[in-house]
Amino acid sequence: MKKVAGVALLTLLSAWTLVAAGDEITVPLRFDRYYLPVEINDALKALHKAYPELTVLEEVGRSDEGRSLYAMTVNNPKTGAPLEKPGIYVDGNIHGNEIQGGDISLYLLDYLLGGYGHNKEITELVDRICFYVVPVVNVDGRYHFMTDPNTASSNRSLRIPTDDDRDGLVDEDFPDDIDGDGNICQMRKKDPFGRLKTDSEDARLMIPVKPGEKGEWSLLGHEGLDNDGDGRVNEDSEGYVDPNRNWGFDWAPPYVQQGSGEYPFSGTGMKALAEWIMIKSNICVGWSFHNYGGMYLRGPSRKGLGEFPPQDISVYDFIGRQAERITPGYRYLIGWKDLYTTYGDSVEWLTQIMGAYGYVAEVFQAQAETFRGNAEKPAPPEEERPGMAMLEEGITDRERIRFNDHLAQGELFKPWTPFKHPTYGDIEIGGWVKMSSRLSAPFMIKDLVHRNAMVVIFSAKHLPEVELEVTEIKAVGKNLFRVRTRLANPRAVPTMSYLAQKVKLYPKDMLKVSGAGAKVVAGGLLTDPYRDQVTYKKNNPETQFLVVPGFGKVEHQFLIEGKGELEVSYESRHGGKRTKTAVLE
């Protein structure tokens, strides 16, 4: 009887976390559990198979362990090539254990492709812009997180062997799943001098002893053995090179930024991805999905980089504040100021090297797993660093364990169990399991992936949508015409960020006027159409350089000699291409 119950429990556990691989992945995709790495690739292949005209599936490169890193481009070739349209970039799971980003990316793809031709808004969006989606950046990390025993916070790293404790050996003493349940939990030992005692409210939990009070338990750290026999347990696990500190903008060596790697882009997958992104010169907005905390963060990632230009901040704010509304509880914050400083992170690279508006999303809030009635809600704290507070605030273990009991039927916490440890003797193993703490419970995945995909879609709708008009052709003399043009953009994102303009990251948009029988004698920015005020350009007046602002317009005036057909063409990295013809008469 007991044995049967044990088997049933094991089956239940795997249903809660990972259904056995082998089910065929079909479109539309399902979001009732997290996809295994191989299933992510199968899902991408299934999407490509179902929507071959709208998708390109590419291997961007290989990881340090040789796994394929895939990207999917969603573009309708009938409305133009990708680089002729504004582009948006989305990635996830750069930290191996932060797997939700992979599932959010798949949901976004499934939603866009499934909605195309059925939903008007999605059809228009897919026809107008190009999506670049990399569901899993750290493919080795996702593989090892989901396949190997782990804590909720382990296997973040790139698989570049690193000697963390400087003993001359690399990755020689990792956490060990000594009770074989697939989790790395905690070890504790009876200890009258320990700093913890059993919580009288719930015997599974421990609380700190008061000064002078007798102790009961000492925590011995993560489950494991002393693999190399040096007297220390688990002192050098896989990596650690942090894939999100290894990028080539504002990189700093490991003595400044822990885990940055020996040099920027030392991770082969990171380098391949950067090279792949760099060709996508149309990327206007970039999103990178992490866990946890419930935040949408903009840069700069370090105070010393200086604040972004105010016009860029208003774009960030417009999207960020809407994101807060789409995902209640999340907060739109500034990386260095509200959370912490980072060097060499991927979104700062997207912002500063690609000229994109970059956001880091920290999905999942511990507060979503509260177990509180209305009267039990505490007042929100006032804090100096709200992002840090969102990481720490969370909920108490007493509350989490009731969520575990009543909403997860015990799946999130392993009861303390006696174990004979070769180094520590009689100990107990127990605590929070791998698929807890930073990952939404499966019943909440759909809500998580949907809201975050809608945030991406909102920002995608605000990629520049440039409209070119010839607003006036007026004879002002013999064979002389005054021609006025207008470039308007009803969306929030300009055709070039103000940061990119400030540092002259790449050439501005170009407006050209030409005609076989026409000679442009003067041309410039029309600053006041009513009082005919123009800032004329000194040389080559037929070619004007400009940026079309968000929610705005830019107008030009040309004085043209001659007659006949006139072509006005506009070309922009982020705003696409437009052409208009007119006749001088």
Minimum separation from the CB atom of position 240 to Zn ion (A) = 13
Tokens 């698929």 sit on residue: 435
Minimum separation from the CB atom of position 323 to Zn ion (A) = 18
- Indicate which of Zn ion, Ca ion, none lies near residue 181 (CB less than 5 to 8 Å, by partner kind): Ca ion
By beta-carbon proximity to Zn ion, the closer residue of 95 and 461 is 95
By beta-carbon proximity to Ca ion, the closer residue of 140 and 176 is 176
Q: Which of 33, 95, 302, 556 binds Zn ion (CB under 5 A)?
A: 95
By beta-carbon proximity to Ca ion, the closer residue of 165 and 561 is 165
Strands 357-363 vs 283-291: parallel, antiparallel or unpaired: parallel
Question: Which stretches of the chain bind Ca ion, using CB under 5 A?
Answer: 163, 165, 167, 169, 173, 176-177, 179, 181, 183, 224-228, 230, 232, 234, 236
| Residue 131 one-letter amino acid | F
- Indicate which of Zn ion, Ca ion, none lies near residue 191 (CB less than 5 to 8 Å, by partner kind): none
By beta-carbon proximity to Ca ion, the closer residue of 224 and 550 is 224
User: How far apart are the C-alpha atoms of 231 and 166, rounded to whole Å?
Assistant: 15
Where are the alpha helices (H) located in 327-434, listed in sequence order? 346-352, 386-393, 397-407
By beta-carbon proximity to Ca ion, the closer residue of 54 and 241 is 241
Minimum separation from the CB atom of position 234 to Ca ion (A) = 4
Minimum separation from the CB atom of position 244 to Zn ion (A) = 6
The distance of Cα 528 from the centroid of its chain, to the nearest Å, equals 42
Stretch of 98-106, 165-173, 258-266, 384-392 contacting Zn ion, by CB under 5 A = 98-106
- Indicate which of Ca ion, Zn ion, none lies near residue 228 (CB less than 5 to 8 Å, by partner kind): Ca ion
By beta-carbon proximity to Zn ion, the closer residue of 172 and 250 is 250
- Beta-sheet strand order (sheet of 357-363): 55-62, 68-74, 130-134, 87-92, 283-291, 357-363, 295-298, 331-334
Token pair in block for residue 365? 């809030």
Using rule CB under 5 A, residue 438 touches Zn ion: no
- Indicate which of Ca ion, Zn ion, none lies near residue 95 (CB less than 5 to 8 Å, by partner kind): Zn ion
Neighbours of 285 (CB within 10 A): 27
Instruction: Calculate the alpha carbon distances from 342 to 155, 259, 295 in Å.
Output: 19, 11, 16
- Indicate which of Zn ion, Ca ion, none lies near residue 65 (CB less than 5 to 8 Å, by partner kind): none
- Indicate which of Zn ion, Ca ion, none lies near residue 169 (CB less than 5 to 8 Å, by partner kind): Ca ion
Minimum separation from the CB atom of position 95 to Zn ion (A) = 4
| Residue 509 one-letter amino acid | D
Token pair in block for residue 239? 């990596």
| Phi, psi at 494, each rounded to 5° | -75, 170
Q: Which residues pair with 340 in a beta bridge?
A: none
By beta-carbon proximity to Zn ion, the closer residue of 153 and 569 is 153
| Phi, psi at 169, each rounded to 5° | -110, 150
By beta-carbon proximity to Zn ion, the closer residue of 33 and 290 is 290
Minimum separation from the CB atom of position 66 to Ca ion (A) = 23
How many residues interact with Zn ion (rule CB under 5 A)? 3
Please report, as residue ranges, which positions from 264 to 323 form the binding site for Zn ion (by CB under 5 A).
Answer: 290
3-state secondary structure 111-152: HHHHHCCCCHHHHHHHHHCEEEEECCCCHHHHHHHHHCCECC
- CA nearest neighbour of 92 among 109, 112, 116: 109
CB 495 within 8 A of CB 509: yes
By beta-carbon proximity to Ca ion, the closer residue of 98 and 164 is 164
Minimum separation from the CB atom of position 99 to Zn ion (A) = 11
Minimum separation from the CB atom of position 370 to Zn ion (A) = 23
- Indicate which of Ca ion, Zn ion, none lies near residue 167 (CB less than 5 to 8 Å, by partner kind): Ca ion
- Indicate which of Zn ion, Ca ion, none lies near residue 346 (CB less than 5 to 8 Å, by partner kind): none
Instruction: Calculate the alpha carbon distances from 386 to 319, 340, 380, 382, 570 in Å.
Output: 19, 11, 11, 8, 44
By beta-carbon proximity to Zn ion, the closer residue of 320 and 335 is 335
| Phi, psi at 113, each rounded to 5° | -75, -40
- Indicate which of Zn ion, Ca ion, none lies near residue 183 (CB less than 5 to 8 Å, by partner kind): Ca ion
Minimum separation from the CB atom of position 348 to Zn ion (A) = 14
CA angle 265, 266, 270 (to 5 degrees): 45
Minimum separation from the CB atom of position 453 to Zn ion (A) = 19
Q: Which residues would be at the binding site for Zn ion (CB under 5 A)? A: 95, 98, 290
